[in-house]
Amino acid sequence: MKKDNHIHWYPGHIAKAEKKLKEQLTLVDAVIEVIDARLPFSSSYDNITRLLGEKPRLILLNKSDLTDLNELNKFIKILEDKSNFPVLKSDAKNSKDLNLIVKKVIELSEPRIQAIMAKGLLRRPARVMVVGMPNVGKSSIINKLTKSSKTKTGAKAGVTRQQQWVRISPQLELLDTPGIIPMKQEDQIRAKKLAFVNAVSENAYSNENVARELLLLLESKYKETIKEFYKTEDLTLEGIAKSRNWLISGGQLDIERTAVYVLKDFREGKIGKFILDEVDNGI
Ligand SMILES: Nc1nc2c(ncn2[C@@H]2O[C@H](COP(=O)(O)OP(=O)(O)O)[C@@H](O)[C@H]2O)c(=O)[nH]1
Ligand SMILES: [Mg+2]
């Protein structure tokens, strides 16, 4: 575990992930970009157009169940205006938005299908894939989309063997493996926010430092909620350890355990519903 106060990046992994993603992108007509709704700006890639090219994109603000929906609606509007792509909120555990997601990606893929037909080829189903940063809910979204239809259509010519397609509807096929958008945030503030929501490997940071930063941010924005949850006025790891009576042998405060719990409580939405980006601090 890292003890300094930084989130560490591994450039080698990034280059490899970008290369793999670019290969996968050549197979699809459109992408579903999954974003963590608690970080509507910070959990999207800075430079996503460089990565995705002109590929049409449906933006899903997933884990919306962990956010304040009124606040989230403001972000949806901003993201739609800035990207010119449709933006939907999503909760991977709930399938009521399923039909809308399917309808939107089919619509987004239609220009590519039309272009293919203009060359004299037959109409084929739209092919799409799910992309996003680690842990934003890509696999959950794929599961949700494929739950209703388990038909694997098998490997296609020119496609590596492990790429499997699932037929979602007569008009839509989904790549069953997600594209990982590599984490590359030189901006440490943003990197820390991604660590809060578990989008960064735990090897890259110290729980204690990240939990301290999280508490500062939550206190600045949602003070009363945190005070109420931890039953203390002192919203430091020490204050919370005291309030919970988390001690190690010898009677000292168990700061590591407190840090792990604060991160866990936050990530599971136990403390409350939060959004950690600011509408006026756009992308
Ligand atoms: N509360 C909540 N949790 C979710 C949602 N989607 C995914 N998760 C959880 O987030 C974690 C990461 O999800 P996963 O689909 O594996 O993310 P991936 O790494 O992007 O494929 C898992 O524990 C999921 O159960 C959601 O919409 N709401
Ligand atoms: Mg996954």
Each residue's pLDDT expressed in tens, for the chain with a length of 283 residues: 556 778 776 667 778 888 888 899 999 999 999 999 999 999 887 677 778 888 999 999 999 999 999 999 999 999 999 999 999 999 998 888 899 999 999 999 999 999 999 999 999 999 999 999 889 999 999 999 998 665 555 545 444 456 789 999 999 999 999 998 877 667 888 889 999 999 888 888 999 999 999 999 999 999 999 999 999 999 999 999 999 999 998 899 999 999 999 999 999 999 999 999 998 865 4
Dist. CA 135 → ligand 2 center (Å): 7
Read off φ and ψ for residue 57, nearest 5 degrees: -140, 130
* CB of 182 closer than 6 angstroms to any ligand 1 atom: no
Q: Which helix (H) or strand (E) holds 4?
A: none
Q: Which of 65, 138, 140, 144 to mutate to test the pocket of ligand 1 (most atoms within 8 A of CB)?
A: 140
Q: What is the pTM of this model?
A: 0.90
DSSP 204: G
* CB of 137 closer than 6 angstroms to any ligand 1 atom: yes
- Checking 258-262 for CB contacts under 8 A at 24+ apart, the result is 258/211, 259/207, 259/208, 259/210, 259/211, 259/212, 260/207, 260/211, 262/211, 262/214, 262/215, 262/237
| One-letter amino acid of 170 | P
β-strands 87-89, 57-62 pairing:
parallel
Q: Which atom of ligand 1 is nearest to the CA of 135?
A: 19
Give the up-direction half-sphere exposure of residue 162: CA atoms within 13 A in the CB hemisphere: 4
pLDDT for the residue 95: 85
Domain ranges for the chain: 11-180, 206-281
113: tokens are 């299908």
pLDDT for the residue 178: 93
Nearest ligand, CA 95: 1
Nearest ligand, CA 138: 1
- CATH superfamily assigned to domain 11-180: P-loop containing nucleotide triphosphate hydrolases (3.40.50.300)
Q: Are 275 and 239 in contact (CB under 8 A)?
A: no
| Continuous H helices in 54-162 | 69-83, 98-118, 138-147
Nearest CA to ligand 1 atom 7: 137
Residue 193 contacts by C-beta under 8 Å, 6 or more apart in sequence? 39, 42, 43, 217, 276, 277
Fold of 206-281: Conserved Hypothetical Protein Ylqf; Chain: A; domain 2 (1.10.1580)
64 vs 41: CA distance, rounded Å:
14
